[in-house]
Amino acid sequence: MGAFSGANNHITSGNVGVAIIAGVGGDLAFQDFSTDVEGSLQGYLTIGGDLSKQTVDLGVLPAASGAFNIAFPGDTDISLFDTVVVAAGETSVGTARVP
């Protein structure tokens, strides 16, 4: 599992793992996730945490804390992406390496 760390002076913690389902896509499993940010949070699969490069939009996170899964599209080549970014608006608030 990859461990979250805060970004841009935000506190973000927890872990993320990947479950791949052949021919269907997969899930990112967030565990013990928490952040000091209130409001809507968006998830992205990125290359090196860079939101200006190719990303996969994971949509709005279902919660700002706890454990939950987020599906990614079946046509996503997960091997191209190495970092999950959690953002509030256009500001990254946490990142984790994808194992």
Number of structural domains found in the chain: 1
What pLDDT digit, counting tens, does each position of 24-65 carry?
778 999 999 999 998 999 999 999 999 999 999 999 999 999
- For residue 44, what are the domain limits? 2-97
**Which value, in Å, is the radius of gyration of the alpha carbons in the chain?**
12
Give the pTM. 0.92
Instruction: For residues 35 and 86, give the distance between their C-alpha atoms in angstroms, rounded to a whole number.
Output: 10
Q: What is the CATH number of the domain that holds 20?
A: 2.60.40
